[in-house]
Chain A
Amino acid sequence: MNYPILLRGVLTVTRKDMRIYYRKAPVYIFGLLMPAFLFFAFFIGRDLDPAKYFPGFLAMSLFFTSSSVGPIIVPWEKQAGTFERLLSMPVTVTTIILGDMLAGAIFGLLISTIVGVAGIVLLGLSVTNVLLLAVLFLLGNACFAAMGELLSSTGGRTPSNVMMLSSLVRFPLIFISGVFISLSDMTGLGLVTAYFSPLSYLVDGIGATMDQNSVFHWGVDILSLLAFTVLFVFASGRVLRRSLMKGL
């Protein structure tokens, strides 16, 4: 593998995605409005301790934003007839996946950093481990951007269908991951289910950086997010290679 060409391809794909897809309506609807609506629906008007639920809300917003860009890219490109040209460039499937994933992660990182800083300042929260929080932000964004890419790779050429599929996957995840019910309050089957969601580890890790009860050691949170990221990237590659010509 020629790594300089690979790296150049990844960065060019990312640049292309940022230039074109950051401005698409579905990204704003599913990446910004949806978490905002959920925030209003579940947190506003209820007598909840904002400090206790902030890690969950921050993780949810990161989860939605970083996974909102990926799902639209491949279907959009197939529908617009640009995907075949992209494939004929000096790129491989790996290049495209990593480039799209990076674009999603940067979008998520930008938005979630704004939400995080604003929340911490407005609520007067203290972060006891800034480095861990930064690592969790980077890993979380990479992980959920990769998940978005996996959803994007499924083969459809209609962005709205893929966004629907992505909602079907994303919504259940936020309900089982300690966003609305703290992981430390979960028991039995609920907690076991939470183990299978990558979002649980992000919620748990962010909670740990704000001195809240965490269920897992932060090392477990980081390793789990890393494992899910690798799994999503690997699965995206397999799925996209199989569905590459679908809809062209």
Chain B
Amino acid sequence: MDAIRADNLTKEYGEVVAVDHISFVVQEGEFLGLLGPNGAGKTTTVRMLNGVVEPDAGTVLIMGIDMVKRPLEAKSRIGCIPETGNVYQDLSARENLDLVGRFHGLSRSERESRSGELLTSLGLADRGDDYVRTYSKGMRQRVSVACAMIHRPSILLLDEPTEGLDVQSRRVITDLVKKTNAEGSTIVLTTHNIEEANRLCQRVCIINKGRIAAIEAPEKLRRTYASIQTVEVAFDGKVDVASFAAEHVARAEVFGDKWRFSTDDPDETIKHIMKVAERERLKIVALSTVGPSLEDVFVRLTEEEP
């Protein structure tokens, strides 16, 4: 069965079309990443998937249940970290979990055992009874993740769950999400972190200007856009970006102690770099070509889409 089926979803805010007739299917147990620049329509899409916003047109089926016609049953199958999904600061982590468990109809013993289990796996067991207002941002987000998972949902919708978190919190959260996916839950992850999407997702859906620009496995996407190559060069001195301007160089950027040039013609680009190095009296310390990263594909797709 399809875990999520979105058909022709559309949402307009006044004159602005936030989501423009998008359709996609997420299989049960799949890990899908939603990528896109700011304002692309990712959050509006997630809000329509979790029933927070009603689409102007189109349908969302959650495990075969229509979100608009039967929202209570559909929402019961979802665990969600919304974009502004804070937990209640006047409650403890355990009380927050208890509250969400009640919304999902868990028995008292289920709520208690599941809360204990989640708080332990998220490293909050010893702070579970403290008010959330005394927590750090990372700890609050861990509680938020626990709330989304307390009822063992079939589907997890995560809208930038690791945004702005420290490495430890990020790792704890992604590990738990990965484990939940391995246990059979379907995950839809909205993120700006392309590396994270590349590492976690079986498929990524790139949204731009309210439309789907591509939906494919990261590796397949990279192969599709194999023409985008990156040339990495390390020089022994400083050099100005303007020196590298050329028709076949799509982008030139500093990457640590190296320069990265995105190009569809690596041969011409390398020749051009050699010329610049000679003219500027720079010594080339290292030079290599690499295939397109998911980020390169993302940039290409989101730049090219009308």
Contact = CB atoms under 8 A, between A and B. Distances in A.
Interface of A: 1-2, 5-6, 8-9, 12, 15-16, 19-20, 23, 80-85, 87-92, 244-245, 248
A8 B105 contact: yes
User: Which 9 pairs across A and B sit closest by C-beta, in order of nearness?
Assistant: A81-B86, A84-B82, A88-B80, A5-B72, A81-B84, A90-B75, A85-B85, A89-B103, A87-B52
A90 B103 contact: yes
Nearest to A92: B71
A80 B76 contact: no
B87 A2 contact: no
Nearest to B77: A90
A interface, over-half SS: helix
A226 to B, nearest CB: 27
Interface of B: 47, 50-53, 70-73, 75-76, 78, 80-91, 95, 99-100, 102-105, 144, 147, 157
A91 B75 CA distance: 8
B83 A89 contact: no
Given A5-B72, A84-B82, A92-B72, A12 B87 contact: no
Contacts of B80: 85, 88
A6 B90 contact: no
Contact of B72 (A6, A15, A85): A6
A12 B103 contact: yes
24 contacts: A2-B72, A2-B73, A5-B72, A8-B103, A9-B103, A15-B99, A16-B88, A80-B86, A80-B89, A81-B84, A81-B86, A82-B88, A84-B47, A84-B82, A85-B86, A85-B87, A87-B52, A88-B75, A88-B82, A88-B157, A89-B75, A89-B100, A90-B71, A91-B103
B73 A84 contact: no
B267 to A, nearest CB: 51
A88 B89 contact: no
B78 to A, nearest CB: 7
Nearest to B95: A19
B67 to A, nearest CB: 11
Given A19-B95, A87-B82, A88-B52, 12 more contacts: A8-B103, A12-B102, A23-B90, A80-B89, A81-B85, A82-B86, A85-B82, A85-B86, A85-B87, A88-B82, A89-B100, A92-B72
B147 A85 contact: yes
B85 A90 contact: no
Contacts of B53: 244-245
A82 B52 CA distance: 13
Contacts of A87: 51-52, 82
Contacts of A85: 80-82, 84-87, 144, 147
B95 to A, nearest CB: 7
Contacts of B144: 85
A102 to B, nearest CB: 15
Contact of B70 (A2, A15, A244, A248): A2
Nearest to B81: A85
Contacts of A12: 99, 102-103
Contact of A88 (B51, B73, B99, B102): B51
A6 B75 CA distance: 12
B102 A8 contact: yes
Contacts of B51: 87-88
Contacts of B50: 88
Nearest to B78: A88
A80 B91 CA distance: 13
A13 to B, nearest CB: 8
A115 B76 CA distance: 42
B85 A88 contact: yes
A167 to B, nearest CB: 24
A79 B241 CA distance: 44
Contacts of A5: 72-73, 76, 105
A245 B52 CA distance: 9
Output the residue of B90, B102, B103 with the most chain A CB within 10 A.
B103
